[in-house]
Structure 1
C-alpha cells in the first residue's frame, strides 16, 4: 500500500484528520486488541503527529512524537531524556507490506532533524520487540503489563541530522 506521510502539530490538525487517527487508534488498540484503556491521555496536544494517508485520503498508519521530558500518564517509566515515539498503529489492511517500517523510518528521520543526537525512546508491545530492534532500538527494561498488554521500554541512540 502506497501512503503519503504528513506531519501535523496539534493546532494544525483538521477535524477530519483528528477524527481519523483517533478512530484508527481506537479500532486497533481498543477493539482489535481488546484492551480497555483511555487512549486520549492528555498529551496529544504536546505531540507531533505523523499520518500515513492512502490514495483515497484514508489514514492507514499513525504515530506521535512525544517531546523530551513529557511524562506519559500511568507510565512506570520516567519521562524520556529525548523524544519518544508512541501510539504506533497500522490499519489491518495496510500491514505486511513494509508500512510499519516506513512509518518508523519517517519518525526516526524527523527525530534526527528535530532532536539531533538525542536518544529516541519507545514503550513497545513485547511481541514487536524484534521489529523495533531491527530499527536500532535496544531493550532496557524487563517486560511489564500496561493496559493488559506486555510492553518493554526500548531506546535508540541519538540520530544526527542529515
Structure 2
C-alpha cells in the first residue's frame, strides 16, 4: 500500500468511485447525515486528493484545499476519513501527516485550517491544531474550527 496525492484530473474512474463511496459510507450512512457530498471543491485544479488504497478500495482519504477554496486566505484539510475495516491501525494519524506534508509543500509558512467534528478535537490537538472559536453545527453535527499555526511542526 502506498499513499497517492492526485488532482481530480489524475484520478481514474475506479479510484474516484471508491473514494466517493468511502466518503458517502462514512459521512452520510455511518454518521446518518444527509448533506451535499459533491460540492465542486473536488474538481478545483489545486485540490489535492490524498489516498491510500488496499487493492481497488480506498481505505483512507482526505482532500487538501487551496487558500480561498476552503477557508479564506488559508489552505484547509477536509473529508478526512478511514474505512471502518481499517480503523484502529493508526491510519488517521498517518493520513493527517501525509495531508500536512502536502499543505506544507504547496503553501509553506501558512496556517492550516480545518472544520473538525468536536469529538475529534483531542486527535487534532495532538497534531498541533488549536481551537479557534466556539462549536457550531455543520450538517447537524457539532464542529469546531481549528487552526494549526505555521510555527508548529
For the pair 1:132 / 2:128, whether they are aligned, the reply is: no
TM norm structure 2: 0.94
- Structure 2: how far apart are the matches of 1:146 and 1:112? 27
Pairing of 1:65-144 with structure 2 (within 5 A) = 65-71=64-70, 79-144=71-136
On the 8 A contact 2:15/2:56 being kept in 1, the answer is: no
- Structure 1: how far apart are the matches of 2:72 and 2:23? 22
Q: 1:31-87 CA deviation, whole Å, 9 max, x = no partner?
A: 000001111111111111011112x2321010000100115xxxxxxx332210000
Cross-structure match for 2:50: 50
Cross-structure match for 1:36: 34
- Structure 1: how far apart are the matches of 2:15 and 2:151? 29
On the 8 A contact 1:137/1:156 being kept in 2, the answer is: yes
Give the secondary structure class of the aligned counterpart of 2:36: coil
Unaligned runs of 5+ in 2: none
On the 8 A contact 1:80/1:121 being kept in 2, the answer is: no
- Structure 2: how far apart are the matches of 1:90 and 1:130? 17
How large is the Cα RMSD of the aligned pairs? 1.6
Return closer, same or farther for 1:50/1:36 CA change in 2, 3 Å cut-off: same
- Structure 1: how far apart are the matches of 2:53 and 2:2? 5
Pairing of 1:8-23 with structure 2 (within 5 A) = 8-23=6-21
Unaligned runs of 5+ in 1: 72-78
Give the secondary structure class of the aligned counterpart of 1:51: strand
